[in-house]
């Protein structure tokens, strides 16, 4: 089984809908991250969490919220989806004693119509 | 603010040739990490190689090596004996002391048979 999983892998939704993307990891890492990838822009950090009680905004947090339900789970929510949130979303994890290495999930492709 | 610049949006080389991907970055920090990630059509983010800024020796992983020039803030990736499976998007990335990764916009590499 994959160490970092994301659900769903693909999602099409409509403008104004609430969407939750989920990330789970079995690596036992304490740090988790959500990134967004747009064509020609690379990956940009949305939110990150260094432990269950720690949530931090990244470069592009507007329009998004997150929840760290447990050490192994980190969810990203779009409260009211809009078309420019159409993108590929990645979850990643790292360990406190090896923070230079991040392990990425397979990505979720989200399309907002 | 730290930035990562990849000046080559797209490159093509023949199989078995050597190719170099360019990356420059901007930071005022002295200690940091640099990475090259590969993203094949499967869209999975795969760590290719990493370099610690305080190490002068260039990192090498099999056919992949880097030319790290700290004073010039340059971090290029050399792929020797290129293979069809090397076809992918390649991202240069920088990690600051806050353990957040900043990605470049990527170079799309095509290995031609």
Model confidence pLDDT, tens digit, residues A88-101:
999 999 987 766 78
Q: Which residues of chain B have pLDDT under 70?
A: none
Rounded to the nearest integer, the mean pLDDT of chain A is 93
Nearest alpha-carbon partner for B51 in B63, B38, B39, B69: B69
Write out the two tokens for A96: 């406190």
What's the confidence (pLDDT) of residue A109? 96
> Looking at the predicted structure, is the pLDDT value of residue A1 above 70?
no
Looking at the DSSP assignment, which residues form a beta bridge with residue B64? B61, B79
Q: What is the mean pLDDT of residues A1-19?
A: 92
Is B33 close to A100, i.e. CB distance below 8 A? yes
Helix (H, G, I), strand (E, B) or coil at A84: helix
Contacts of B91 in chain A (CB under 8 A): 42-43
Nearest alpha-carbon partner for B36 in B86, B91, B89: B91
Q: Closest-CA residue in chain A for B1?
A: A59
Of the residues B89, B92, B99, the best mutation for testing chain A's interface (the one with the most A CB atoms within 10 Å of its CB) is: B99
Q: What is the mean pLDDT of residues A37-52?
A: 91
Q: What is the mean pLDDT of residues A60-85?
A: 96
Q: Closest-CA residue in chain B for A57?
A: B100
Write out the two tokens for A110: 């989200």
- pLDDT above 90 covers a percentage of chain A that reads 85
Residue A2's pLDDT band (cuts 50, 70, 90): low
Higher pLDDT pick, A23 / A39: A23
What's the confidence (pLDDT) of residue B82? 97
What's the confidence (pLDDT) of residue A25? 96
- CB-based contacts of A34, cutoff 8 Å, min separation 6: A21, A23, A45, A46, A47, A48, A58, A64, A66, A74, A76, A89, A90, A91, A92
Q: Closest-CA residue in chain B for A88?
A: B43
What's the confidence (pLDDT) of residue A99? 64
Place of tokens 């799309």: B108
Buried b or exposed e, range A2-35, using 16+ CB within 10 angstroms: eebebeeeebebeeeeebebbbbbeeebbbbbbb
Q: What is the mean pLDDT of residues A30-56?
A: 93
Helix (H, G, I), strand (E, B) or coil at A83: helix
Q: What is the mean pLDDT of residues A79-107?
A: 90
Q: What is the mean pLDDT of residues A72-94?
A: 96
What's the confidence (pLDDT) of residue B15? 97
């Amino acid at each position: 089984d994959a160490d970092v999983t994301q659900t769903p892998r693909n999602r099409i939704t409509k403008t104004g809908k609430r969407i939750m993307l989920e990330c789970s990891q079995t690596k036992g890492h304490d740090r988790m991250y959500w990134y967004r990838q747009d064509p020609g822009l690379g990956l940009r950090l949305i939110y990150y969490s260094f432990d269950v009680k720690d949530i931090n905004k990244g470069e592009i947090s507007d329009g998004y919220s997150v929840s760290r339900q447990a050490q192994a789970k980190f969810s990203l929510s779009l409260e009211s989806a809009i078309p420019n949130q159409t993108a590929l979303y990645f979850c990643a994890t790292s360990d406190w004693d090896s923070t230079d290495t991040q392990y990425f999930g397979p990505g979720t492709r989200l399309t907002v119509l | 603010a730290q930035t990562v610049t990849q000046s080559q949006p797209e490159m093509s080389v023949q199989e078995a040739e050597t190719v170099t991907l360019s990356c420059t970055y901007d930071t005022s920090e002295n200690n940091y990490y640099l990475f090259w990630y590969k993203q094949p059509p499967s869209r999975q983010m795969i760590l290719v190689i990493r370099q610690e800024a305080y190490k002068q020796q260039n990192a090498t992983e099999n056919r992949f090596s880097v030319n790290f020039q700290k004073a010039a803030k340059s971090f290029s990736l050399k792929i020797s004996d290129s293979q069809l499976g090397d076809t992918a998007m390649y991202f240069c990335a920088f990690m600051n002391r806050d353990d957040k990764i900043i990605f470049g916009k990527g170079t799309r590499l095509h290995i031609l048979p």
